[in-house]
Structure 1
Amino acid sequence: MSLLATLKDAQKEAMKAKDKPRLTAIRAALAEVKQREIDNQTTLDDAGITSVLVKLVKQRKDSFTQYTDAGREDLADVEAGEIKVLESFLPQPLTEEEVLAMIDATIADTGAAGMQDMGKVMGVIKAKAEGRADMGKISGLIKQRLSA
């Protein structure tokens, strides 16, 4: 079953269960998917929908941090709930060992020799790990590997 179909089924289940917080998060995800499809005049595949979900989770984490810093725990709790709902649709996260193995294999496959090859390695890794690992951390690990 595609990720879009999974999201739509989850929306129906949330409606039947009258689970408003879950329904709100799922509707936001579906709206963003539809908006991206309209903007790009294309139909998103599972990888595209995953990137939308990653973006939404990142936005909610930023909002969570801002609300917590401002002392608005009520709003921070809402964001935390939406993060949990959206992350439930993302693939299983990679462990640090899996990430390091993927980086080493990609460096070997691409023949990367130094920092000038950072973009080449990052492009391959991003396609494999999108939604499953923090790309900022991966970037730092690649820099360590290439500069060593």
Structure 2
Amino acid sequence: MSLNETLTNDLKTAMKAGKKDELTIIRMLKTNLMNEKIKFGHDLNDDEAAAVVNREIKQHLDSIEQFKAGAREDLVEQQEKEMKILKKYAPKQMEPEEVAKIVKETVKQLGATGKSDFGKVMGAVMGKIKGKADGNVVKKAVNDELK
């Protein structure tokens, strides 16, 4: 079942149950997916749909940081609630150990030797694991490997 079909089914369920927070997030996701579909001019594949969900999660994380800095705990709580809902639709994230393994393989393939090869390794790794791991996890793994 595609993400859009899942969202449609969950939208109906949330409407019947009267879950306003879920309704808001699902509608937002459906709108963002539709905008992305229009932008690309074709139905989104799984990777493109996952990128939309991951982008929303990242925006919520950024908002949480900003609200914490501004001492707005009420908004932090709301963003965290919304993020829990968003994470249901995000692709499963890779474990740091899996990322480290891919980084090691990529470093060998590219023949990378030091920090000067950081950008080359990051680009190659992010291309392989697109949307399946957070960029910060990849960055840490690459830094650890290219000491």
Which bin holds the TM-score, normalised by the shorter protein? 0.7 to 0.9
Equivalenced residue count is 147
Deviates more, 1:5-14 or 1:126-135: 126-135
- Distance in 2 of aligned mates of 1:127 and 1:9: 32
The alpha-carbon distance between structure 1 residues 9 and 123, as it changes in their structure 2 partners (threshold 3 A), is farther
The aligned residue for residue 87 of structure 1 is 87
Q: Deviations over 1:47-75 (max 9, x none)?
A: 01111111101111111122222222222
- Distance in 2 of aligned mates of 1:21 and 1:130: 29
What TM-score comes out, normalization by structure 2 length?
0.85
Segments of 5+ residues of structure 1 without an aligned counterpart are none
Deviates more, 1:51-60 or 1:109-118: 109-118
CA contact (8 A) 1:90 1:131 kept: no
The alpha-carbon distance between structure 1 residues 3 and 110, as it changes in their structure 2 partners (threshold 3 A), is farther
Q: Given residue 109 of structure 1, which amino acid in structure 2 is its aligned partner?
A: Q
CA RMSD of aligned residues (A): 2.1
- Distance in 2 of aligned mates of 1:116 and 1:69: 34
State the identity as a percent: 34
Query: 1:143 deviation in Å?
Result: 3.5
CA contact (8 A) 1:90 1:132 kept: no
What TM-score comes out, normalization by structure 1 length?
0.84
